[in-house]
Amino acid sequence: MGARYFGAAVKRLEDPKLITGRGQYLDDIPMPGVLHVAVVRSPHAHALINAIDASMARDHAGVVAVLTAADLGEMAQKPMPMMAPAPMVKTPLTQSPLANGSVHYVGEAVALVVAESRAVAEDAAAMVMVDYDPLPAMVDLAHALKDGANLANKALQSNLAGTLKGGFGDVAGVFAKAAHVFKETLSLHRGGCHAMECRGVMARPDPAGNRIDIWSSTQSPYMVRRALALCLGMDEASVRVTAPDVGGGFGPKAVVYAEDYAIPMAARHLGRPLKWVEDRGEHFVATTQQRDQLWELEVAADAQGRMLGVRGHCLHDNGAYLPYGVVLPVTSMSSFPGPYALEALEISLDVIYTNMVPNTPVRGAGRPNTCFVLERLADRVARELGIPREDVRRRSFVQASQFPYETGMKARDGSPVSYDSGDYVQCLDLAVAKFGSDFKARQDKARAEGRYIGMGIASYVEDTGLAPYEGATIRVQPNGKVLLLTGAAAQGQGHKTVFAQIAADQLGISPQDITVEAGDTSLFPLGIGTIASRVAVTGGSSVHMAAVETRAKAIKVASQVLEAQEADLVLEGGFVKVSGTDRQVSLGQLALMLHGNFGQPLPAGIAPGLSATAFYEARQTTFANGTNLCEVEVDIETGAVKILRYVVAHDCGTLINPMLVDGQIRGGVVHGIGNALFERMIYDENGQPQTTNYGEYLLPLATEMPRIEIVHMESPSPRNPIGVKGAGEGGTIPAAACVISAIEDALSPFNARLKSHPVSPQDLVQLVDQG
């Protein structure tokens, strides 16, 4: 059977409603009798709460209730469970659904104001008088472990949450024998979520209090269900969580937040449906971010510029709490050694508590960080040895003959990290070929004219298809249409389209004949979440397996109905046909038959329903890779950077829908360009956020973004039945490193050394002036 839809640029099934204004995001869902919630948030980075006086707010016309942790009972006062428990953390800190006696970042939820309208709730929120006793704030990452540093929480003896260590090989030996050793001090900042739809939670308790329906603008509806059922002491079947249309996720929406607990608790307390929709001001202070890492590293290289070893130490700011455990710094650690076949590696990361918004993964998680430091080291080796930057990479890469390649690192479950497939050199060569060979000449000419252009390069490997599973059910209905159910909700990726493409080929139907339902816990039993570039691998493989099984069942039953050999049957146009004849039976007829009828036994040994459920077991990770090249021009008078070209060579295995993969890459690259040039979440020395609107915090705009030229390579993964690897973050991971590399190249006449991002025009003018 040839693929007709798998691999094709099929237009999205999601789009018709979204382009006509008929999408249904959380705030669009009609809910009779709903009350509106505004959250009273801490104005202090660190403070004790002496008392809360809500009397004035409660008396305000239109206010139904003001609720604090004390009003909502014990579970609202207890710390929320860590989503990924981290036994190595001696003092694991998570916040409670509403503050319980103290606050540890500006924006922490303190109380809920419930009113007839959002406007009235906000009026009254300003009337809630909270008596705070401010404490010194910890915001200076570089000094977090020094004597006399302010402690981020009174429960701590030290701001150190824990230290991660990883590595392999004879580090001392490799560094001792290396022809060259170079040392670098680097730092970087990631920024926030900034999905165009902010977060939101709506909850509707049933009058008897036995059930609750929850809507959350989340990447992880099943995690919300798990958390709430455990917290409320309810059966999972009684807690229905729906992720409706979600307006972007990018990682931070995978967290189960204080509001995910507090709003359902308050709804049950009041016996009324409640809705809270985060506004953009809240998003800046209450949605998780990724902020700073400070690195000290050394790289060892041989005389030809092959990187042999890396060792280094990192201070990682995790903010006030560890909602996600240490997953974020772990992804930085486990992203070493990148695409490079190092002989030795030794990395330690100190995870630090500060009085800023908690940190959890933002697109790429800790991977762009590790890519940035490795690529800065590779550029340094090239510069010191006077060889092309691409040659350092070619010489240092894992070579095509080495797959499967065990890096020496350990995965989260303790198993060896093993790269599955690819040809990193060839992928780099594709990027170089696309970029063209005339850059040096153009650069020389530009410099003669007083213009400064530069070429950047960055390569990466990304672990994708994270364990354990996403499942799928395929069910043919008596009308011949197919229902495809999965737990893997989408936030814009196009899961419905790609899942329908995978299933359509197996079933001999069109994707338009498949209705995909995702992200409603009442429709599919289990799910994990749409994070970490994992759904094409886990969910896509499950869809494939369920479709193959459904197809086999259709053929088996049809062979009895049509009195034909199974080998002679084909699925085509919604029918099972006997090849070369006009004998056929429709999938709908088979489904009707297998739905059964009173007193009529089904064929012996055939389970009811023309359907199948599959859970692909993600036992081994798949690894995507790629190399980016870009060209920038720096105006040395103003420090303005213009990205003139951006080339991506990308290998995420077999492509399901190249148009959608390109969309993921382009959006991801632009996110990374934002990290390089624009996005900077600034706090002052007291822990007060300084950039809380889009005038102060800059996002990439259409006028600044280049076209992204994409070349695909397809190295199928041998580790899943459809050969795919994830594509959600591969655009972002190398992009900031690539842009920074290009700026450094452009300013090489000034001996500029770029050691951090984002870079501002002021930073660049200063580098030029110093040069």
Partner 1 sequence: MSELDHAQTTRHIRVTVNGVSYERDVLTRTHLGDFLRQELGLTGTHLGCEHGVCGACTIILDGQPIRSCLMLAVQADGAVIRTIEGLAQADGTLHPVQEAFWDKHGLQCGFCTPGMLTTLAAVLEADPTMDETAIREAISGNICRCTGYETIVDAALQAASRMRGGH
3-state secondary structure of 698: coil
Task: Find the part of the chain contacting partner 1 (CB under 8 A) among 27-35, 146-154, 328-336, 627-635.
Answer: 27-35
Among 129, 142, 145, 196, binds partner 1 (CB under 8 A): 196
**What is the rounded CA–CA span in Å between residue 253 and residue 736?**
22
Among 80, 89, 197, 489, binds partner 1 (CB under 8 A): 197
695 binds partner 1, rule: CB under 8 A: yes
Per-residue 3-state assignment (H helix, E strand, C coil) for 139-194: CCHHHCCCCCCCCCCCCCCCCEEEEEEEEECCHHHHHHHCCEEEEEEEEECCECCC
Residue with tokens 């008078």: 637
Q: Under rule CB under 8 A, which residues in 652-671 are in contact with partner 1?
A: 659-660, 662-663, 666-671
C-alpha separations of 351 from 103, 149, 160, 315, 741 in Å: 20, 15, 6, 6, 27
Binding to partner 1 by CB under 8 A, coded x per residue (else -) over 141-180, reads ----------------------------------------
Residue among 333 and 669 whose Cβ is closer to partner 1: 669
Q: How far is the CB of 452 from partner 1 (least distance, A)?
A: 23
Tokens representing residue 131 in the block: 């008596």
Strands 212-216 and 239-242, by their bridges, are: parallel
Q: How far is the CB of 42 from partner 1 (least distance, A)?
A: 22
Asked if 318 and 160 count as a contact pair (C-beta separation under 8 A), the reply is no
Q: Under rule CB under 8 A, which residues in 702-761 are in contact with partner 1?
A: 702-703, 705, 707-708
Q: How far is the CB of 130 from partner 1 (least distance, A)?
A: 20
Binding to partner 1 by CB under 8 A, coded x per residue (else -) over 599-638, reads ----------------------------------------
What does the angle CA 750 – CA 384 – CA 302 come to, to the nearest 5 degrees?
165
Among 387, 523, 699, 711, binds partner 1 (CB under 8 A): 699
Binding to partner 1 by CB under 8 A, coded x per residue (else -) over 93-132, reads --------------------------x---x---------
Q: Which of 648, 666, 664 is nearest to 656 (CA)?
A: 664
Among 494, 723, 730, 734, binds partner 1 (CB under 8 A): 494
Binding to partner 1 by CB under 8 A, coded x per residue (else -) over 272-311, reads -------xx-------------------------------
Residue among 379 and 679 whose Cβ is closer to partner 1: 679
Q: Under rule CB under 8 A, which residues in 243-262 are in contact with partner 1?
A: 245-250
**What is the rounded CA–CA span in Å between residue 56 and residue 66?**
10
State the number of binding residues for partner 1 (CB under 8 A): 56
**The dihedral formed by the CA atoms of 616, 621, 622 and 626, expressed in degrees to the nearest 10:** 150
Residue among 24 and 579 whose Cβ is closer to partner 1: 24
Strands 344-352 and 575-578, by their bridges, are: unpaired
457 binds partner 1, rule: CB under 8 A: no
Q: How far is the CB of 122 from partner 1 (least distance, A)?
A: 10
491 binds partner 1, rule: CB under 8 A: yes
Q: Where are the alpha helices (DSSP H) in 242-325?
A: 258-270, 280-286
Q: How far is the CB of 457 from partner 1 (least distance, A)?
A: 20
Asked if 466 and 367 count as a contact pair (C-beta separation under 8 A), the reply is no
84 binds partner 1, rule: CB under 8 A: no
Q: Where are the alpha helices (DSSP H) in 60-117?
A: 69-72, 74-77
Q: How far is the CB of 497 from partner 1 (least distance, A)?
A: 10
**What is the rounded CA–CA span in Å between residue 708 and residue 700?**
14
Strands 109-115 and 35-41, by their bridges, are: antiparallel
**What is the rounded CA–CA span in Å between residue 338 and residue 346?**
14
Q: How far is the CB of 293 from partner 1 (least distance, A)?
A: 23
Q: How far is the CB of 484 from partner 1 (least distance, A)?
A: 20
**What is the rounded CA–CA span in Å between residue 413 and residue 499?**
28
401 binds partner 1, rule: CB under 8 A: no
Q: How far is the CB of 281 from partner 1 (least distance, A)?
A: 8
Task: Find the part of the chain contacting partner 1 (CB under 8 A) among 6-14, 285-293, 714-722, 750-758.
Answer: 6-14
3-state secondary structure of 664: helix
Among 59, 271, 433, 694, binds partner 1 (CB under 8 A): 694
**What is the rounded CA–CA span in Å between residue 114 and residue 267?**
10
Residues comprising the chain, all counted: 771
Q: How far is the CB of 198 from partner 1 (least distance, A)?
A: 8
59 binds partner 1, rule: CB under 8 A: no
Residue among 22 and 440 whose Cβ is closer to partner 1: 22
Q: Which of 260, 286, 278, 145 is nearest to 203 (CA)?
A: 260
Residue among 19 and 145 whose Cβ is closer to partner 1: 19
Q: How far is the CB of 646 from partner 1 (least distance, A)?
A: 10
C-alpha separations of 533 from 7, 416, 427, 448, 664 in Å: 18, 20, 20, 45, 10
Residues near partner 1, by CB under 8 A: 11-12, 14-16, 18-25, 27-28, 30, 119, 123, 194-198, 245-250, 279-280, 491-494, 659-660, 662-663, 666-671, 693-695, 699-703, 705, 707-708
